[in-house]
Structure 1
């Protein structure tokens, strides 16, 4: 019957089924029709994404990277719980990834993903990195509240240092001489922001009583989070690109779920003043949802850019984000830029472009031989 329904004799069969009051197709026929229609839609969607949307993903990543600190500082209430923000962002990322996983794969592909999943493997490959991601996210939220937006983005770029080191130790990936020089430039920019840029921010923020906290609660948490992110980046890269790589959307959901469990446990232990009982979203407005969603989308965009573009274009996207942060801070924040900010921004831009454009040439030499 399946073959007949799919052929040209469908009208005659349909009339017969209507007369017999048996028009409802069987489960097998319904599955076949569902898979056939969705397979064509999914194939065309994947082709459109891979061919036409890489530039769109790069533009969105640059905008998210540049505006995220400003959106968080402008739209989130002062003194909000960082754990609540991260939990909300994780839940948003789970919903987005689940939607794409369900409608971006056929039923057979989803069944294969579910059958291959195991709790033990999920804990080892996603649980441990999720705990580290949660700690880094909390440190970044604390630091973001005590430094200006441009310094935050520039300091956060020091994660390239630890990423290069950990990729060499865990994955055996070497750096070229130009890339090593780019990492030195990045480290110098971090030192400038940690000393000169931080002192200028102290003078500006002294009227808010935060002068003594700018380094301890601002620069230091961001640098620690950025440097420790190299280990988690190497672990997740090995998980996604190994011999038995996991589905990227499933892995994003796993990281968000384990990270949320870690954050909930931390909130229950550390919430001694009972702020959650008073209302976790106390002081939030409707616009506070915007930085939550942009944070979730930003994590997804990084994976899309990595998949559909290359490291050179990704480097330019991050540089564009830094330029956007510089311009937006001049317009939106009452924190004037200093010459040290501009010097550090130029150093970070140069180091990012050099590191992306000049990878090791060992593979190219091997091919020519």
Structure 2
């Protein structure tokens, strides 16, 4: 049984388990998605994908914050990641189905040719998928051994490592003012996400109990996470921008490996909890919204990388952090802006305009040069 058949089998099991939810909600959502991507394929791909990423990232941050404040049975985050990867693959299959004029035979033939018929091309996606899984575990180690301030500041180096990977792997030319804007962006995001004084004091008290070796391990983990983040993102960009394979087929390939690596993580860290209360324990409507937004986010990120690049994606994500913080202040009342936040927001906005600024060179015509 090849990967497409395995994926189809799990899709059938998933559908039977949550048939009532899928029929009631996801059918309408898929129709809306098909209409959106019909517009998306016609024009303004770069702009639409960037706006969608800002809105999606803002939405998922707000829903996650809301899910933390409500009282409900906790869910296992590793299973949610697996479910979102699986759902992303299903949505991409539907989108490929639309590309094949809604023909089931053409869909099966295309998936078989692109995934099973080209094993080398499919295996390419195992690299970024595996690196993303490693990155998540490195961040968990870093959060365990570092205080919030050190973690936030150090992790923003991923903006610069991504830019360096773009230069060395894609041959991208970055101007001096753009390097300056990237440094401003990293500092600005660090300020925006800087913990409040109360939270920082609690973290520092916890940090004082950590040994020098543990802090060194945490610092090394977050540095490795920035490197894996930059390399994986740019590697995925290179795959998307080379070759005739569509972005949706690439996402199916990525979802297959993402599901596999995710299940391995569930088995290693949460096997006992899954055996006790089940894989879908604690799943409520809010959790399903988080999973859906996470799945859609994977598609939007791929579109941004395809039609823009990883650096532009970093700017869009940074702007969404500011937007979600502002909405949290007015709607959820769980965020109090500090001086660091306002300074960081100004740096992020300034860096965004500075990166897109192009120096206009005045060209003097020959008629102006020669005066009679």
Deviation of the 1:250 alpha carbon: 0.9
Aligned mate of 2:197, from 200, 203, 218: 200
Deviation of the 1:87 alpha carbon: 0.7
* Structure 2 match to 1:292: 291
CA distance in 2, matches of 1:75, 1:68: 10
Deviation of the 1:224 alpha carbon: 5.4
* Structure 1 match to 2:132: 133
Instruction: Report 1:122-161 matches (<5 A).
Output: 122-137=121-136, 158-161=157-160
**Structure with greater Cα Rg:** 1
* Structure 1 match to 2:15: none
Deviation of the 1:287 alpha carbon: 1.6
Q: Deviations over 1:106-135 (max 9, x none)?
A: 469754563244463145310111111223
Q: 1:82–1:138: 8 Å Cα contact kept in structure 2?
A: no
* Structure 2 match to 1:178: 177
Deviation of the 1:261 alpha carbon: 0.5
Aligned mate of 2:89, from 89, 94, 97: 94
Check 1:137–1:358 CA distance in 2 against 1; reply closer, same or farther (3 A cut): farther
Q: Which moved more, 1:311-320 or 1:233-242?
A: 311-320
CA distance in 1, matches of 2:93, 2:302: 15
- Where do 5+ consecutive residues of structure 1 fail to align? 1-41, 362-369
Deviation of the 1:181 alpha carbon: 0.5
* Structure 2 match to 1:26: none
- Where do 5+ consecutive residues of structure 2 fail to align? 1-33, 362-372
Check 1:182–1:309 CA distance in 2 against 1; reply closer, same or farther (3 A cut): closer
Check 1:63–1:260 CA distance in 2 against 1; reply closer, same or farther (3 A cut): same
CA distance in 2, matches of 1:83, 1:228: 20
Check 1:267–1:113 CA distance in 2 against 1; reply closer, same or farther (3 A cut): closer
Calculate the aligned-residue CA RMSD, in Å. Answer: 4.5
Q: 1:82–1:141: 8 Å Cα contact kept in structure 2?
A: no
* Structure 1 match to 2:62: 70
* Structure 2 match to 1:302: 301
Deviation of the 1:98 alpha carbon: 0.7
* Structure 2 match to 1:24: none
* Structure 2 match to 1:276: 274
Q: 2:57–2:317: 8 Å Cα contact kept in structure 1?
A: yes
CA distance in 2, matches of 1:47, 1:70: 27
Aligned mate of 1:212, from 199, 206, 231: 206
Check 1:342–1:160 CA distance in 2 against 1; reply closer, same or farther (3 A cut): same
Q: Does 1:105 align with 2:100?
A: yes
Q: 1:91–1:256: 8 Å Cα contact kept in structure 2?
A: yes
TM-score (normalised: structure 1): 0.67
Check 1:222–1:250 CA distance in 2 against 1; reply closer, same or farther (3 A cut): farther
Q: Deviations over 1:262-313 (max 9, x none)?
A: 11112212336x1111233333322211111111111212333455679998
Q: 1:311–1:356: 8 Å Cα contact kept in structure 2?
A: no
